[in-house]
Amino acid sequence: PTIYAITPTYSRPVQKAELTRLANTFRQVAQLHWILVEDAAARSELVSRFLARAGLPSTHLHVPTPRRYKRPGLPRATEQRNAGLAWLRQRHQHQRAQPGVLFFADDDNTYSLELFQEMRTTRKVSVWPVGLVGGRRYERPLVENGKVVGWYTGWRADRPFAIDMAGFAVSLQVILSNPKAVFKRRGSQPGMQESDFLKQITTVEELEPKANNCTKVLVWHTRTEKVNLANEPKYHLDTVKIEV
């Protein structure tokens, strides 16, 4: 099956560095289609040029987050992930579903190559541990007899699916047979986007544990430090225009 990776991304000083790290990983994965969704009113030159040279199959989308939702404490990238879902559904509407697996790959996380081998065998919805998240070294689904029976987490343990966006994959078949499943803003509290989405397409009992019964960390919720640009010049700019 093809792996579809939906990556929301937005313009900031570290954007090209993040996308470079991601492309360097994805380029090593067979049959991966990268759906990059810019949080912007139009496709940017920087991302267009970058993707053209990235050397992997990709689709370049864009949708701006409404200004009222750009606030600390509110969920991020809701509209962008939905744009990726809409593109996938549109692309597959006329044919019987090709084998495919979808996952949500934020641009700042760190992905091992083994993760892709694990997710490729997803039948409906698969799950695995995520490192460096939720105020702990890791969060993970608790597995008994091959079934998810609970969650090891230190943050909002009341979440129906106590899992980060980086901790699950969904088969294309499930995406197509649940055409209304989307990420929601209304009623979505911080940290509930994953649960609110997964609730629409699966149950905890149905989840397929990967990564050796969810005992291996193959993805890390790394976050990039904000860059210090305190010494950027206001006058005496560089003599050539450099893309960073």
Q: How far is the CB of 192 from ligand UGA (least distance, A)?
A: 10
77 near ligand UGA, judged by CB under 6 A: yes
Task: Select from ligand UGA, Mn ion, none the partner in contact with residue 36, using the beta carbon and a kind-dependent cut-off of 5 to 8 Å.
Answer: none
18 near Mn ion, judged by CB under 5 A: no
User: How are beta strands 100-104 and 2-9 bridged, if at all?
Assistant: parallel
Q: How far is the CB of 9 from Mn ion (least distance, A)?
A: 11
- Point out the residue whose Cβ comes nearest to Mn ion: 108
Residues 104 to 123 in contact with ligand UGA, rule: CB under 6 A: 106-108
Q: How far is the CB of 78 from ligand UGA (least distance, A)?
A: 7
31 near Mn ion, judged by CB under 5 A: no
Q: Identify whether 194 is a catalytic site residue.
A: yes
Kindly tell me which residue out of 58, 80, 122, 126 binds ligand UGA, with binding defined by CB under 6 A: 80
Residues 164 to 223 in contact with ligand UGA, rule: CB under 6 A: 164-165, 193, 221, 223
Residues 20 to 49 in contact with ligand UGA, rule: CB under 6 A: 39
Kindly tell me which residue out of 4, 5, 9, 198 binds ligand UGA, with binding defined by CB under 6 A: 9
Catalytic residue of the set 38, 118, 194, 208: 194
Long-range contacts of 14-21 (CB under 8 A, 24+ apart): 14/224, 14/227, 15/46, 15/47, 15/107, 16/46, 16/50, 16/243, 16/244, 17/224, 18/107, 18/108, 18/224, 19/47, 19/50, 19/54, 19/107, 20/50, 21/110
- Residue whose pair of structure tokens reads 């030159």 in the numeric block: 45
Task: Select from Mn ion, ligand UGA, none the partner in contact with residue 25, using the beta carbon and a kind-dependent cut-off of 5 to 8 Å.
Answer: none
User: How are beta strands 110-111 and 219-220 bridged, if at all?
Assistant: antiparallel
CA distance 109 to 101: 19
Task: Select from Mn ion, ligand UGA, none the partner in contact with residue 196, using the beta carbon and a kind-dependent cut-off of 5 to 8 Å.
Answer: none
Token code pair at residue 33:
């289609």
**Residue 193 DSSP class:** H
106 near Mn ion, judged by CB under 5 A: yes
Starting at the earlier edge strand, list the strands of the sheet with 58-62.
58-62, 32-38, 2-9, 100-104, 168-171, 125-127, 208-209
Task: Select from Mn ion, ligand UGA, none the partner in contact with residue 172, using the beta carbon and a kind-dependent cut-off of 5 to 8 Å.
Answer: none
Site residues for ligand UGA per CB under 6 A = 7-10, 39, 65, 70, 75-77, 80, 106-108, 164-165, 193, 221, 223
Residues with active-site annotation: 194
